[in-house]
Chain A
């Protein structure tokens, strides 16, 4: 059974750096073809893909946010970490991590709401 869970601060101040951790089970991020991605959703708005990291350490970022994002993995801990610098109130959103494999972004975490406010 594949599960993912996001963790991190619920409140960050403008200009601060956000660090989110996705802790997963039921699969290995060293298995060929597997990846973990991050997606966010501002309140009342659409889903927006942020970044993805693969079993072979390749990674991709949303072009509009590339300069602010870093995604890393710790295979031994079954964790993927996303950092986003220079947070702004417009970054207030629910942040999801999801397993990427043969079925696309198929398994999702429950999401974590991050509010950016002073």
Chain B
């Protein structure tokens, strides 16, 4: 059972906008920055969003992140087939004194 809660799956058609949510608590998301990762099978996670809403260079602006209270969201607009991957949220947890991850959301592009 992951400390951060994500829906196991999400889907959309090409061109659509999809949102992936991540729910936590006051000791993690409520008090710390949220990070999002994209992972393809057999590869290491790739950072998509850091500090809640910042995109590393090279990440398309189709990807955006937001945080409100104890929840965070990753939005993908103009969905493409190559966006089909697993997405994870992560943050620091003050109570656990460690990093915590969500259970991951598998995005399917129909």
Contact = CB atoms under 8 A, between A and B. Distances in A.
**Binding partners A and B:** yes
B19 interface: no
B48 to A, nearest CB: 11
Contact of B101 (A46, A63, A103, A106): A46
A110 B46 CA distance: 10
Interface string A91-104: 00000100000011
- Chain A binding surface SS class: strand
B43 to A, nearest CB: 8
Contact of B98 (A47, A49, A110): A49
Contacts of A24: none
Place the interface of chain A in its size category: 20 to 34
A104 B98 contact: no
Interface in A78-118: 96, 103-106, 108-111
Nearest to B2: A46
Interface in A26-78: 37, 39, 46-49, 52, 60-63
B56 interface: yes
B38 to A, nearest CB: 12
Given A63-B96, A103-B50, A104-B35, A109 B56 contact: no
Interface of B: 2, 33, 35, 37, 43-47, 50-51, 54, 56, 88, 90, 96-104
